[in-house]
Every structure is written in C-alpha cells, then in structure tokens.
Structure 1
Amino acid sequence: MAAVLSSPAAPGAAAATTRWQRWRRWALPALGVVVLGLLLSHIHKIDWAGAWHALQKYSPWLLLAVLGLATASHALYGCFDLIGRRHLRHKLSAPRTWTIAVTSYAFNLNLGSLVGGIGMRARLYARAGLDEATVAQIVGLSLATNWLGYGLLAGGLFAAGAIHPPRQAHIGDGALRALGVAMILLAIGYVVACAVSRRREWVIRGRHLRLPGGRIAAMQLVLSSANWALMGAAMYLLLGQKVPYATTLAVLMAASIVGVITPIPAGLGVLEAVYLALLSGTVRQGALMGAVLAYRALYYLVPLAGGLALYLLLERTLPAQADGAMPPAEAPAG
C-alpha cells in the first residue's frame, strides 16, 4: 500500500504475475457478463416511469446541494496526490498536482482506472517533467489512500451489520462481519506500521514498497474517510433521507467494490444492480432508480465535463510551463 518503485521482477514474481494476468484475462470479463446478465434479466421489471417521475420531483436546491457534495468530494480526492507530493518531495507545484489528480479522477470514474487513474495520470505527469518511478509512486500512494479510508469505513459498517447481503451473494451475515473486522485491522495496521516500523522498505513480487511516515498515513486515513463520507451523504440526500445514512453508505461502498472488479466503464449497470439487490425492499423501485440515476449524473457525468475542460487546459499549458523533473525521491517526510 506504500509508494511503488519500479524495479526488475524476480523470476518467481514474474511467474506469479503471469498467472494472475491469465486468470484476470478471463475471470473478470466473466464476472462482468454475470453482473450484466443479472441486470438485463430484471431490466423489464424496473419501474422506469417511476424513476423518471422521481427525477422530476427533485427540487433544484436539493440537486444543487448534491452537486456541491460531489464537487467537494472530487476536490478532496485531488488532495490525495498532494499527499504523494509531500511524501516524495517532487517539485511539481501543488496547484498543478491537484489539477492533474482531479482531472484523472473524473476520467477514472467514467472510463475506468486504466484510462483515467493510471494512463491519464502518467501522461500528464510525464508532460510535466516527472520521471516514471516518481509517477508510479504517486499513483501507488493515491490508490493506497483511497482504499485505506474505504477499508476503515466499509469495514466498520460491515462489522456493525449495516447491510444484509442477499441470498444470491453466497455470503452470510457472519462472514460479512468477519470481513469487516479484517478490513478495519488492515487499515489500522497500515497506519501503525507506518508510525513504528523500523524497516521502511519492502520487496514484494520484485517491487520495492516504501512506507510513508505515521503522520502521512494518518492524513491518508482522514482524507479518504472524509471523501467516502461525502459520497454517502450525496446519495443519502437523493434517497430523501428515507434510508439510514450508515446503510446508504454501506450499500454505496458495496457497489463501489463490485464496480472496481467488474471491467465495465463507469460501472454501468453495476451500481443499479447492487442498489436494487440491497434496497429494493426498503425504497420504492422508481424512487430508488431515480436516486441512482441522479447520482450518476451529478457525481460522474457533470464532473467529467469539468475534467475535460481541465484536461484541455493542461494539455495546452504543460509543455510551455512544466515545472521540471525532480531527481530521485528523497527521504520520506512525515
């Protein structure tokens, strides 16, 4: 979960990586087909008229409030790369680092992590003058930040029984609670390791992982948790506050992890399928689908327009105003 430094992979690590790539090549698309099939099999049962009616009933002020929460979440996500900037001490300016992170996040949500979270980040940072090793570390630390807060919040919600998995999920309440406890321990263990570990570098599968300091790890935990909380608050408002906030956030986090492991851009159909499976007995289907569609529009599509504008601005200004590359990373701060 720490920053990743490029290095040649050992033979055993290379073999393990090859096996993983082969498994992923067929397993993840197969999972995507199953999820889409599940959704399509119920698509004719969805109350689309009710969803459209629910969308029309939203007041402009409510939609504006949700858009504000979405904007705050995207802005907060941009700070994840600022954590990497502090840890690595590269010389790219803070505003430009933040802008690249926000732009990449908007594309990541709509086009997938390979395009937005990794590909676009790598291109923009390279245009800004950073070397590949530094870019890899920035991306690795940002991903770690995002999932660190996820592990703490989702783990707490799962352990507390905030949601009950459907029968077709093949996981019981007890197993979900145990999973939640394990997620909490992993998140806390990471922060403790960063704070007290004397060994700062590890080699896993031929790649070097360097732990940040304890204060940086705590910052990762706080910012990421706040970001996920903002996302849950947006959906909570769209559901008319009819579902407890803890349950709303837990369902959102469950949908998020399914969307990540399913190779479908923007998780199309995944978010809807998970919400229908977990909340269809609590909220009217029309209102539920209306909330999900409004969330997708306000959190995914509207920021994508802003991300596109920022991307064009960066493409135009980076070649002429690049801040220059940074020598190899110094000792971590924090």
Structure 2
Amino acid sequence: MNLKSLPGRTSRFEGCTVMGVLSVSAFLTDAVTLIHGPDGCSHINASLLHTTLAEHDIFRIPEIVSTGLGENEIIFGGEDALQEVLTDVCADDPAAVVVASTCVSETIGDDVAGICSQPWDCPVIYVPSSGFLGGTFVDGYTGTLTALSSFITPPGEQNPGKVNIIGEKNLEFEAEDNFQEVSRLLGMLDLDVNIRYVRDITVEDIGKFGDAGLNLFREDKCGVLGGRHFDACTGIPSLPEFPVGLSATLQFIRDAGRLTGRDTTDAVRAEEEQQAGLADEFSDLAGEYVTFDSFGFQSAEMDMFAEVAKAVGIRVSEEGTVIPIPPFCMPVGTLGLRRMLRQWRRFING
C-alpha cells in the first residue's frame, strides 16, 4: 500500500463516502485507487479497509495512493499535486486508476473531473466522494459501480444461461456465503455466474459484462443502479435483489426462470423440500416463544421473521426470548435462514 501515513482526522461522513468507493474499487485486482486529499483522509480509510479485510481473512493489500495535500495545496489548490501523482501512478501501467475526491479537494475547488478527463497513459475514472458536501457510503458505492461501467464493451450475443452478480456488499461477513447461496439457486435452473461486478475481478473482466442474459443486484429495490443505469446501458433484464425469506426465495427462482426462459417447476419443488427440512432440523424450537428486537438498520416488523417462525413452529410473543435481528444485512436464501435459525437456537437455549 503506497501511503504517506501522517496523523490526520476526518469526519465520519467523509470517511463513509470514500469507504463506499473503496468497498468497490479495492476489489478490482489490477487497479489503483487514488484518494485526492490529505494523507489523514487516505490513512484512516485505508486502515479501516485493511482491518475489515483482515477480519474476513482476506490478506491481499489493495493499491491505494494519496496525493497528500498539505497546507500549501489547501491554500493555493491541489491540482498540481493530482497531476503529479496521476503521472507517477500511470507510469506503473495499472489497468485503471480510480480517483476519489475528498471534502478538502472539493471544498477548495480543485477541478478533479477536468484533470481526470485529460489523456493519460492508462484509464482514469473519477468518482466524486466529498463527505462534508452531502456524500454518504452509498453514494461512493453506487457512484463507483456506475463509473466503472465505462469499461463494459458493447454486448455481443447475450447468453441467457449467464448471470452477472452486481454490487455485492464486499465488506459484509457473509459476502461469500451469500454468493454461494445465490449461485446454488441459479444453478438449479442451469444458470452460471458470468462475472461478479465488482468482486475480485480484473478491469478486463468487466468487458465480459454484456455476455450475460440476466443481471442480479445484491440490493437495488429502489432501482438506483438497475432502472436508472444498467438496464438502460446494457439492455439486460434484471432482478433487483438477493432473496430474503422462504416465499421470496421461491419467487426468486420463478422470476429468474421467467427472465431466462427456464422451466422452474422442478427447481421450485426441490427448494420447497429444502425449506421443509428446516422444520425437522429445528424441531426442538417448536413451541418456544420469542420476540424480535431491532438494534441495527433492519426492522423487527419484517414479515420474513414471522414467516420463518411460523414455518418452524416458534411462537411470537412480547414475553418470549429476545432475538436481536441482524443489524446490517438480512439472511440470503434458504441456507441463510438456516444460519439465522442456528443463532435463534443459541439465544433460546441460553
């Protein structure tokens, strides 16, 4: 990691926005992320990213570079620093450079977009990520996914048997488990994953995006990525999210089949049998009383929790054992629900 590690402080808002960029760009294996701002901005975000990856047993260190803006640049402008560092980075011939601005570089008025649009010796992609000016983690995340779509080549003949996985939450602990689960469900329809956009792929891999016949978003219920961008620029039909819940998983299979011209009868029947097995596996919980407690971003009022409890024979009551629901991401597919029920069992059995 090429960083000048100087002490520095940054707001949680800026850090969130730049971290949103890094949560995508750091998983392009042959690209460099250039953070245009003080060393402190780069250091705190790179350190947080590295710590998070280490907790996931991922020990690859992404290439992250800082322009190292100091007092002089903050007073007189940091465009020369950006020009100089970009020249040095491109000289090493990376597959691409993703440039993330910060609140400092945006506030002093550096023309980051203009500099990035100049002819360079390698592709340069600019993602605005100034936290103080209203940016959030999601802005950095969606902005980077959208910006990198410039590497998508014109589609050839789309293969209805291939699926793009778009926008995986690379920093969630269950990222690989969730990928394996949706891969299993797609495989029941003889559908294969085309590329994971963007998780541990090269810039060249993005060019294969147009070969798929279906786009599957990790979570895009509002259509920020699909309806407003990828559907239009690729013409590939899409599913807005990974399935969460028993009935949602069955509907996911039906929808994937409908969009790819597959008969889903056997796959749905097989998954219904898989879900029925949950009642047997967790029969020791039948008749227990639980109540759900929201302590994160999810709501305990989601129908999915009541659906799962009913399927297993668990009763919901305010007097029951308190079950804290997942603070960030919901369990994906049937196997995700199995992991969730194992957690419930631990809470119930104390």
Which TM class, normalised by the smaller chain length? under 0.3
TM score, norm. by length of structure 2: 0.25
Structure (1 or 2) with the greater helix fraction: 1
TM score, norm. by length of structure 1: 0.26
Structure (1 or 2) with the greater strand fraction: 2
Which is greater in Rg?
2
